[in-house]
Structure 1
Amino acid sequence: MPEFPNIIHFAIPFFILSMALELYVTTREKFKETKGYEPKDAFASIAMGLGNVFLGFFSKAIVLGAFVVIYENFRLFTIPVAWWSFILIFFADDFSYYWFHRISHECRLFWASHVVHHSSQHYNLSTALRQTWSGGFYSFIFWLWLPLLGFHPAMILLQMSISLLYQFWIHTEAIHKMPKWFEAVMNTPSHHRVHHGSNPIYLDRNHAGILIIWDKMFGTFQPELSEEKVRYGLVTNINTYNPVKIAFVEWYNMLKDAFSGKKSLKDRWHYLTKPPGWKHDGTGKLSDDLREEWLKSGKTDKNY
């Protein structure tokens, strides 16, 4: 078992210094239109991050165990730990992350844990720390094909951490745009601001981890529009700073919808598997419905 450092733990001082620098920068006059930091919101995000790190000691044991079992018993090839294999796993991991992230917006069972990250109505580096307390126990299924293919479990966990670390810096309003070539290939603050938007035109777009190319390939890319300022948060905000409520309110709502009232077994199942907003009586609106209404309202743009 090759040993790699837990880079997320080593990065914690960097996270703290970066947030302090962002706080200083965004208080300057030219950033007066940004929402900046709100103490209760920032502390809630930090609490979610600390909870994620603590629970990670347990979830990562499950993840590592699953990867090892598949690698030791069912792998199709043996991919060595070499420089070229890190290039391969970079793309394989990022591809896995795209589909995990996209399904987390299209299936309520995964949205129940992922919604945590979208629950803040602010957008700054502290928002990056607003991580799930439950997703780590089951979202790893999107990566199970990697040990099956022959990537060593330690390599997979390292690349997953690198991806998470990269995504920290894109949670900011302090950076408007990166160079055009960078914006064309990589995930950036501008692209990810769109992802956190609750505006109809921005819903369920830009699911990228590191490379934005997947969104462009699979039809989920949306540029940030100058005339449509991003409105952060959820279509229906939860309006709480309580970390426990943030972590589990959507689990409660989902299970209540699925198991209360008179519904068919099929409808109960659909409350777990259909996208957020779906209702068995047809009254619900999905993100595509909201986007279509927005487009019909005449607020179209040549970039869309």
Structure 2
Amino acid sequence: MKTFDPVQMAIPFFVLAVILEIVLARMGKANARYEAKDTAMSLSLGLGSSVAGAILGGAIFAATVWVWQHRIFTIPMTAVWAWVILFFAEDLTYYWFHRIAHERRVWWASHVNHHTSTHYNLSTALRQTWTGGVVGTWLLWLPLSFLGFPPAMVAIQKGISLIYQFWIHTEAIKRMPRWFEAVFNTPSHHRVHHARNPRYLDANYAGILIIWDRMFGTFIPETDDEPCRYGTVKNLASFNLLTNVFHEFIGIGKDVVRHPRHAPGYIFGPPGWSHDGSRDTSHTLKAKWRARLAREGEVALSPPEGARRSAEPAPPSKADSPVVS
């Protein structure tokens, strides 16, 4: 069964938009940083993702059709109300997929290549997973078909979401109008998501609507006081294609071999988890950042040395001193 794929149709637009951003940056008309090897890596990861999708897509779609055949309701694909409901339902599904992909290591291993670039431009959006079909990220969308949304309908909405997310991978747009920033995912919000600053870790998982992050407490605004630094907590520093795709899976394998008793934690725990607490997770990194801010705040709020001395009570004089026998 073949279905309409909006992402494949949008690929020429993606390429032209990347070229346009590069040209505008060279002319000084847009804030965009490109590096030849980094851009080539993004394009290669995008191409590989398309190939992986073609290989596994049929099996995944067949599984989705099987679930739909056992659906609870029959939702008509031609009904406007069905598309409206699906828009919100699919976007909420994407939020939880994206959040879990950052919070559970085996899914992070599949998603991490999207974050390995130390630059943030439109080509970064093309860094898509090769292994999502293998680790089962697609399973989260099956309840939509079980409820009665036709598989083709779900696939189209997923494609629309991915197309929307392309344009937010840019530094050329600083802020959208306030009302838009309040409701939709924007370049500003998504820059935070790609940042490795402790302030910004584990935030803004939105697909199209930022309302989910606001509802579930994962929204962090971009601040001009702290520009985003991009990449992963420990940057890969490699332009090897296979390393970018598989390095975290290799890391999981090594940890499991070294510590088989703790294998579940190394596979399904948060990225950075270790059985002895010797590594940092995003949670511990944020805690250390908050502690540092608190210490710096205490130093800033404490009075200068001279003022502190003047505020201290004078030592008692001999006349005031108690007599010690």
Judge same fold: TM > 0.5, yes or no: yes
CA deviation after TM superposition for structure 1 residue 99, in Å: 0.3
TM-score (norm 1): 0.93
In structure 2, the partner of 1:18 is 17
Task: Give the aligned residue type for 1:11.
Answer: A
Decide which of 61, 71, 80 is 1:75's aligned counterpart.
71
**2:204–2:220 Cα contact (<8 Å) kept:** yes
Decide which of 138, 144, 147 is 2:145's aligned counterpart.
147
- Cα deviation code 1:205-253 (max 9, x no counterpart): 0000000000000000000011111000000111111211111111101
Task: Give the aligned residue type for 1:7.
Answer: P
1:27 paired with 2:8, answer: no
In structure 1, the partner of 2:245 is 247
Question: Which sections of structure 2, spanning at least 5 residues, go unmatched?
Answer: 298-325
Decide which of 253, 258, 266 is 1:271's aligned counterpart.
266
CA RMSD of superposed structures (Å): 1.7
- Cα deviation code 1:154-196 (max 9, x no counterpart): 0000101111110000000000000000000000000000000
Structure number with bigger Rg: 2
CA deviation after TM superposition for structure 1 residue 4, in Å: 4.6
Further displaced range: 55-64 or 203-212: 55-64
Task: Give the aligned residue type for 2:171.
Answer: E
Decide which of 86, 92, 97 is 2:94's aligned counterpart.
97
**1:67–1:147 Cα contact (<8 Å) kept:** yes
In structure 1, the partner of 2:184 is 186
CA deviation after TM superposition for structure 1 residue 262, in Å: 4.3
3-state SS of paired residue (1:156): helix
Task: Give the aligned residue type for 2:293.
Answer: G
Question: Which sections of structure 1, spanning at least 5 residues, go unmatched?
Answer: none
**In structure 1, C-alpha distance between the alignment counterparts of 2:287 and 2:201, rounded to whole Å:** 11
**2:22–2:32 Cα contact (<8 Å) kept:** no
In structure 1, the partner of 2:54 is 57
Q: Please give the residue correspondences for 1:133-282 in structure 2 after superposition, counting only pairs within 5 Å.
A: 133-137=130-134, 138-258=136-256, 260-264=257-261, 267-282=262-277
Task: Give the aligned residue type for 2:244.
Answer: I
CA deviation after TM superposition for structure 1 residue 25, in Å: 2.1
**In structure 2, C-alpha distance between the alignment counterparts of 1:274 and 1:93, rounded to whole Å:** 26
3-state SS of paired residue (1:167): helix
**In structure 1, C-alpha distance between the alignment counterparts of 2:88 and 2:105, rounded to whole Å:** 27
**1:27–1:36 Cα contact (<8 Å) kept:** no
Task: Give the aligned residue type for 1:104.
Answer: A
Call closer, same or farther: CA 1:13–1:30 in 2, change over 3 Å. Answer: closer
Call closer, same or farther: CA 1:28–1:294 in 2, change over 3 Å. Answer: farther
1:289 paired with 2:250, answer: no
Call closer, same or farther: CA 1:144–1:229 in 2, change over 3 Å. Answer: same
**In structure 2, C-alpha distance between the alignment counterparts of 1:12 and 1:112, rounded to whole Å:** 25
Further displaced range: 267-276 or 287-296: 287-296
Aligned residues: 294
**In structure 2, C-alpha distance between the alignment counterparts of 1:205 and 1:251, rounded to whole Å:** 23
